[in-house]
Amino acid sequence: MKIKNRLIYAVLVFFLVCDVAFVVLLRRVSPFTLRASSFTFELGTEVPEDLDTYVIASDRVDSDMTLDLSQVKNKVGTYEASVTYIGDTETFTIVIQDTTKPKVTLLDTTITVDVGKTITPDDVVASVDDASDTTLYFETDDGREEKLTFSKAGTTIVKVLAADSEGNESAPQRVRIIASKTGASPIISGTEDVTIAQDSDFDEMEGVSCLDEEDGVLTKKITVIGSVDTSVADTYTLIYRVKDSDGNTDVKTRKVTVQ
Ligand SMILES: [Ca+2]
Ligand SMILES: [Ca+2]
């Protein structure tokens, strides 16, 4: 019986030692572990607010932990965050980055502009989708431009792209720009056919004038092709031409009969 008692005593002591060791171990080992010291998220996505994303802990510990994300802002940067469990606080960093290229939606693939007009990318772009601030550019053979002027009528292919504040760029998109003349055409008047007597004086500009809605009087801009020899009876053809500041023209043909 003595041996049996000793055995029981030894077993009890063993369990007691194990218990004490377990308690000491529990006190030394942190009740939770951070999954990483830094977590990175893309700007525009939601930063997770659940503990499981950041720590490994038992459900019992988990329910008594608090997560502090109050420093984290909705912009690119590195922020401090922390978890606390009964006075034990561990900090970690949250990095917000923007690696996403902006997305450009065009108003149309073909845009018509007035000759002489200056346009900016906003004139051809409907929207830019990005979580950061963006800048729009035209990409031309001469480099990047924030505006373009089309001084001649015709069609030009330009590329438009957006760059965000983090240096990400959208794929350039092609836009066909058709520059066309605008406004009213000038009108030459006083060029009706006429019959004059041989050897009389004839001034091809007498009674002829030109008016343009935008430019006003353009009579002095009229050029005349052809001439009339009043000494020779014949029928002559004069062509009157004029061009306004928009490049619109008027042409009149006049027959002058000398008899
Ligand atoms: Ca972006
Ligand atoms: Ca005009």
pLDDT on residue 180: 85
Ligand located closest to 135 CA: 1
Buried b (16+ CB within 10 A) or exposed e, 203-238: ebeeebebbbeebeebbebbeeeeebebeeeeebeb
Ligand located closest to 96 CA: 1
Report the mean per-residue pLDDT for the chain: 91
Residue 237 contacts residue 254 (beta carbons within 8 Å)? yes
pTM of the model: 0.59
Q: How far is the CA of 103 from the centre of ligand 1 (A)?
A: 9
Q: How far is the CA of 100 from the centre of ligand 1 (A)?
A: 4
Q: What is the largest CA-CA distance in the chain?
A: 163
What is the 8-class DSSP label of residue 245?
A: T
Q: How far is the CA of 40 from the centre of ligand 1 (A)?
A: 15
Distance (Å, rounded) from C-alpha 213 to C-alpha 186?
A: 7
Order of strands, edge to edge, in the sheet holding 234-243? 194-196, 249-258, 234-243, 223-225
pLDDT on residue 62: 81
Among the residue ranges 6-10, 12-16, 23-27, the one predicted with the least confidence is: 23-27
Ligand located closest to 184 CA: 2
Q: How far is the CA of 229 from the centre of ligand 1 (A)?
A: 75
Q: How far is the CA of 216 from the centre of ligand 2 (A)?
A: 8
pLDDT on residue 141: 84
Residue 182 has pLDDT above 90, yes or no: no
Residues with CB under 5 A from ligand 1 (ion): 98, 100, 130, 132, 164, 168
Residue 24 has pLDDT above 60, yes or no: no
Ligand located closest to 212 CA: 2
What is the 8-class DSSP label of residue 54?
A: T
Ligand located closest to 215 CA: 2
